[in-house]
Copies of this chain bind each other. A is one copy, B any other.
Amino acid sequence: MKTAARRGRPGYDLESLLVVAVDLFNERGYDGTSMEDLARRLGVTKAAIYHHVSSRDELLRLATDRALDGLFEVADEVSGASGPALARLERLVRGAVVVLVERLPFVTLLLRARGNTEVERAALARRRQFDRIVTDLVRQAEAEGDIRPDVDPAVTSRLLFGMVNSLVEWYRPRGLSPESLADAVCKVAFDGITTGRAPK
């Protein structure tokens, strides 16, 4: 039966199914998209989808894990590094920008998760864990005298990643390369948008 289904719709393996599902979730909202809608978009029966995944939630879990795994790979890399916290924070920001760009639809879906299902709540818990890593680095860099002490580190880190995460709303592939985008984010976030503090 597995073989028959594959022969019937050779175009959809789990990966391409996931990509279409994530696009549809982003377009209409996860809560507003049924398996029926997804089947219609794919031009297959619901049974053909259930051949690959057990539920809509499983698609959501696969998608948000794709985003979160990327972010945690960067965080793990950074936490194993030595050197000033500010330099590690910059590596984290650069790495996160690259993950956002390379896994754009997945991160978009992650950032829109509201916690309405068990899977969404699990994703939000992992997001909070990542946020804590950022805040800890900001705190450490502040203690080392490299981050401004006149703003609460929790607020600083939220503003910093607010800027980073905004990419999913406006960045379009074929625009800036991930590296140029990471450069722009780091310049603006670390040194500000003004020339005011630069030597004159």
Residues of A within 8 A of B (CB): 26-32, 86, 111-112, 114, 116, 138, 145-152, 155-156, 158-167, 169-170, 176, 181, 184-185, 187-198
The SS class assigned to the A binding surface is: helix
Could you say which residues of chain B place their CB within 8 Å of the CB of A27? Answer: 114, 116
* A162 near B151: Cβ-Cβ < 8 Å: no
Could you say which residues of chain B place their CB within 8 Å of the CB of A189? Answer: 159, 188, 192-193
* B195 near A192: Cβ-Cβ < 8 Å: no
A102 to nearest B CB, angstroms? 18
User: What is the bound-complex CA distance between A192 and B147, given in angstroms?
Assistant: 9
User: What is the bound-complex CA distance between A170 and B128, given in angstroms?
Assistant: 11
In the complex this chain forms, how many copies of it are found? Answer: 2
User: What is the bound-complex CA distance between A122 and B122, given in angstroms?
Assistant: 35
Could you say which residues of chain B place their CB within 8 Å of the CB of A111? Answer: 169
User: What is the bound-complex CA distance between A170 and B166, given in angstroms?
Assistant: 13
- Select A155's contact among B145, B158, B161, B176, beta carbons within 8 Å: B176
* B162 near A169: Cβ-Cβ < 8 Å: yes
* A148 near B114: Cβ-Cβ < 8 Å: no
A31 to nearest B CB, angstroms? 3
* A86 near B159: Cβ-Cβ < 8 Å: no
User: What is the bound-complex CA distance between A155 and B184, given in angstroms?
Assistant: 8
Could you say which residues of chain B place their CB within 8 Å of the CB of A188? Answer: 148, 151, 156, 159-160, 189, 192
Could you say which residues of chain B place their CB within 8 Å of the CB of A31? Answer: 28-29, 31-32
Residue of B nearest to A187 (CB): B151
User: What is the bound-complex CA distance between A165 and B28, given in angstroms?
Assistant: 21
Could you say which residues of chain B place their CB within 8 Å of the CB of A138? Answer: 193
12 contacts between A and B (CB under 8 A): A28-B114, A28-B116, A112-B112, A145-B195, A147-B193, A147-B195, A148-B193, A148-B198, A149-B195, A162-B163, A162-B166, A191-B192
